[in-house]
Amino acid sequence: QAQLVESGGGLVQAGGSLRLSCAASGRTFSRGAMGWFRQAPGKEREFVAVIRWSDGPTYYAESVKGRFTISRDNAKNTVYLQMNSLKAEDTAVYYCATGSGIDEVHQGRCDSWGQGIQVTVSS
């Protein structure tokens, strides 16, 4: 299994930006995909975005499309989530996770999960 460590969270005002990072170690990532999920208080975890390690196709939840961008640095085994135009409803604990493919990650069928990082957007 991979070990995943998120960083970059914090408190930001509505309309601001944050960039989350997820550093992966413990296995090779030539195949498969990495994704971001989030869970707000009292709500179920939801999919945010996913990217394939090898050639970078991406897929986003409708709620973040046009505002969030997922990217990867294969040399660093790191995936990023650039979050712009943040809204109060983006407040949640954000998790990165890895799986065998884009569909699997999108459906939450992931092999490894990070510990999560808090993002708070003040209105």
Phi-psi region of 15 (alpha: psi -120 to 50; beta: other; left: phi over 0): left
Closest CA to 108 of 96, 90, 117: 96
Give 87-113 pLDDT, tens digit per residue.
999 999 999 999 999 999 999 999 999
Q: Around Cβ 53, how many Cβ atoms within 10 Å?
A: 19
- Rounded CA-CA distance 58/31 in Å is 14
**CA triple 91-95-97, angle to 5 deg:** 155
pLDDT > 90: percent of the chain: 85
| Residue 90 near residue 122, CB atoms below 8 Å | no
- Which SS3 state, helix, strand or coil, does residue 1 take? coil
What are the Cα distances from residue 104, in Å, to 31, 35, 68, 109, 111? 13, 10, 20, 5, 10
pLDDT > 70: percent of the chain: 96
> What mean pLDDT is predicted for residues 32-48?
96
Give 61-93 pLDDT, tens digit per residue.
999 999 999 999 988 999 999 999 999 999 999
